Amino acid sequence: MRHYFVAIAIVLLLALNGCHVRVSPDGQRYEGAGVVFVVPLQTSDVSTSPYGIDYKSANLNASTDGKSLLVNGKAYGTLKPGDVVDFTQVGVVKVNDVPRNPTGV
């Protein structure tokens, strides 16, 4: 029951900030630059716009401009409109349900 109230509070706060967010069973969904980030329900700082997403939490810093993905200071390749980037599993980055490793590794 507590998660329900936390989710409602998050949605209300983000709605007041003009952020596009949806809360689903697997986490929060943020949309920007045609890309979706799915992140765990936790305390975070996020900004979204038609130009990208910047997400920061205690263990994760991720951003996109809709064309490239940067996670904790490492490049994770290119993105295209419609891609869904999932961070809900600790230490795993998935793009469209496929695990992705940093590029150049």
Tell me the average pLDDT of the chain. Answer: 82
User: What average pLDDT does the segment 72-81 reach?
Assistant: 96
In this structure, of 1-15, 27-41, 52-66, 81-95, the range with the lowest mean pLDDT score is 1-15
* DSSP one-letter code for 79: -
Q: Alpha carbon 93 to chain centroid distance?
A: 10
Task: Give the dihedral sign, CA 94/63/80/22.
Answer: positive
Q: Is 14 a residue whose pLDDT tops 50? A: no
- Give 94's pLDDT tier (boundaries 50, 70, 90): very high
Cα angle 8, 99, 84; round to 5: 45
